[in-house]
Every structure is written in C-alpha cells, then in structure tokens.
A and B are shown apart, each in its own frame.
Chain A
Amino acid sequence: MIDVWILAVLCLTVLMAFAVVRLVLGPTAPDRVIALDTVNTLVIASMILLGVVFQEIIIVDVAIVYGLLSFVSTLYIAKYIGGEL
C-alpha cells in the first residue's frame, strides 16, 4: 500500500522538473511566474502524499503554510509585474 504513494510522489517530482524547464526557458517574466506557481502547487500535492508515506501529520501542516506563503508571494510578484508597486 505504501509503495503506491511513493510512486505518485516520484511522478509529481518528474513533473516538477519539466515545469522548471519552462521556468528556465520562458520568454517573458509572467511565463516564469506561472511556471513557479505550478511548481508550488505540485510541491503542496507531493507534501500531502509524503505525510502518508512517512506517517507524519506535521508535513501536511507544513503544506498548508507553504501554500498560503506562496499565494502571498505570487500576488506580490503580480503587483510588481503590473507596475502597481
């Protein structure tokens, strides 16, 4: 039962590597921002799965706080790109 969770986390890690390719290539700054946002979402999803793999609830709490902080940072970068800062 445990190895299915590890397999899903490995798949999400490979997807994170592909999203980093867009983060390096991206022609404009908002492309890089949405690539970073995708990486953040995948990190949160894999942290929730890692909470089951290691049988630790604290990892899921860390995922919640990480999601809220990445939301604030994305809004801040969006204000900078829109020229409102």
Chain B
Amino acid sequence: MTVVEILIYTCLVIGVVFNSLGVLGLLRFPDLYTRMHATTKATTFGSIFTSLAVVVYGLSIFFSQNASQYLNLAIHAFLAAAFLAFTNAVSAHAIARAAHKSGIKPMLAVVDRLEEAKL
C-alpha cells in the first residue's frame, strides 16, 4: 500500500464518518436550530473530504501516467467542493433567518439576540 492510497483511504474515512455524524445529529437533536447546527457544518466538512480524496486520486494518476483527463477530473472535483462550501453556508443562513421570521423559536435557548433586535 503506497502513501497515496493511505492518503485517499484517510480522506474517504474522515468524509464518511463526518457525514454520518451529521445525519445522526439530524435524526437525534431536539430542535430545528440544533439540527441545522449538526447537518450544515458536519455534512459540508465530510463532503469536502470525500471530494479531496477524488482530487488526490486524479492528481496521483496524472503525475504517474501523464494522462490529462485525470487532471481534468481533479480540477472539476475541486470546483464542485468549492461551490458546495459556499452554497451550503448561504442556504443554511437563509433557512435559519426565514424560520426565525416565521415564528419558530429556539427551544432551550437562554438568550435570543435576533428576537431582541426585532429584525
């Protein structure tokens, strides 16, 4: 087993473990905002790491066999991961703001600054 394979396996395991932690939080947490806290961050982190495994795979085959379509695969996987990171953050913020405006309050929260600011 080479160094590149160990790197790919590590990235895949980290990605799948963090994705499953996110889905576990989605199933088990009591409130909308805590569920969003679990899924958005953990799922984005895990998906970035599974994409990073594809980037490492494509770059390793490109440098060993000099095949240009694997460089293409690596660049496209990196672009998909970058779009995923930006769009997930923005859409989670939009859903949280809309849910707070529609009247869903945090269940066990002590302080609610958005309620005090009357936005």
Contacts and interface: CB of A to CB of B under 8 A. Distances in A.
Interface residues of A, number: 45
B91 A42 contact: no
Contact of A21 (B16, B27, B51, B88): B27
A15 B102 CA distance: 29
B84 A41 contact: yes
Contact of A12 (B19, B27, B101): B19
Interface residues of B, number: 49
Prevailing SS type, chain B contact patch:
helix
Contact of A45 (B23, B27, B51, B95): B51
A57 B70 CA distance: 9
A21 B15 CA distance: 21
B26 A51 contact: no
Interface of B: 5, 8-9, 12, 15-16, 19-20, 22-23, 26-27, 32, 35-36, 39-40, 43-44, 46-47, 50-51, 53-54, 57, 69, 72-73, 76-77, 79-81, 83-84, 87-88, 90-92, 94-95, 97-99, 101-102, 104
25 contacts: A8-B50, A30-B102, A31-B32, A31-B35, A34-B32, A35-B26, A37-B91, A38-B23, A41-B84, A42-B19, A48-B50, A48-B81, A49-B54, A51-B76, A52-B73, A57-B76, A60-B76, A60-B77, A61-B76, A64-B83, A67-B83, A78-B95, A78-B97, A81-B98, A82-B99
